Amino acid sequence: MDLFVQNWPLILALLAVGGVAGLTSGLFGIGGGAVMVPALFYAFTEIGVPQEIVMHCAVATSAAVIILNALRSTRAHHTKDAVDMSLVWPKTKWWQSYGLWIGLGAFAAAIWIAPRLSSDALTRLFAGIAFVVALQFIFGKPSFVFRHTVPRGPAPALAGGSVGILSSLMGIGGGSLSVPLLTLCGVPIHRAIGTAAAFGLFIAVPATLGFILSGWNLDGRPFGSLGYVNGLGFALITLAAWPMVPFGASLAHRLDAALLRRIFGICLALVALNMARKTGLF
């Protein structure tokens, strides 16, 4: 009881974050990491997690939560036939699977790249890319495409691996990158969001495993952690997010496609600006 009394603001904050994360997962096909990572970073900083690992713990815990968010979001979109399984995992030519290369990129980032690269540099790079994509969603023509089919050949390895790497390093479900890529290749917005939700599952599972292994037995991690993944943050956010995912998915399919593009763009722009602000860029 004393533990609850001492930490009730933190507990309530994590529950609120979980609700918003679940809604965004279903509505936009993103795992909610853009909401969770800053909140977890603040929470872990307040309880004294060392600065050199606090971002790792926030990103890793966010990735773990995204597993369940992406699973529910994928199921909800799949019931509306909005997940392109030929992109996620084709029945033939499995090496052409975007899901495969996204997963490999996510695992490599979590277990090998994350401890070796500057968090600020990656955050600024991603914020810049995300902001440009957001402007295209807000002001661009919904019918504008680079091509009318999603590329194959080396594209799944190059594009999929890049999405997996960046998403894993930032603790996000990948919708911020994969939804624009899919729509620019002629995929309708609702189908792009549903497919991005499935990609989020291929990001979150290997990323979580990689962060568990790369953070094994490190000092200074918050109580209840397995590697970099914190169990308390995972449990509270998951509890609140669980009922909100299907509501978000249902809402996405009731909205006009053009309006949904603009909503997604505005949210993505705000996320990008917030990420840049966290690095001290302005």
**Cα–Cα dist 163/127, whole Å:** 14
Torsion of CA 152, 153, 154, 160, to 10 degrees: 20
Q: What is the pLDDT of residues 90-108, one digit of tens each?
A: 888 888 899 999 999 999 9
* Mean pLDDT (whole number) for 249-264: 78
Tokens 């504008």 belong to which residue?
144
**Residue 77 near residue 249, CB atoms below 8 Å:** yes
Q: What is the pLDDT of residues 35-77, one digit of tens each?
A: 788 778 878 877 788 888 888 898 999 999 989 888 888 888 8
What angle in degrees, to the nearest 10, is found between the helix axes of 2-28 and 51-78? 50
- Given this model, what pLDDT does residue 104 score? 97
- Which residues, listed in sequence order, are joined to residue 229 by a DSSP beta bridge? 226
Q: What is the pLDDT of residues 131-162, one digit of tens each?
A: 877 887 788 765 667 777 888 889 899 999 99
Angle among Cα 247, 166, 15 to the nearest 5 degrees reads: 35
Q: Cα 219 from chain centroid? A: 27
**Predicted model pTM:** 0.81
Domain boundaries, the chain: 12-278
Question: If you count DSSP H runs as helices and E runs as strands, how many of each does the chain have, helices first?
Answer: 13, 2
- Residue 113 CB contacts under 8 Å (≥ 6 apart), including other chains: 165, 169
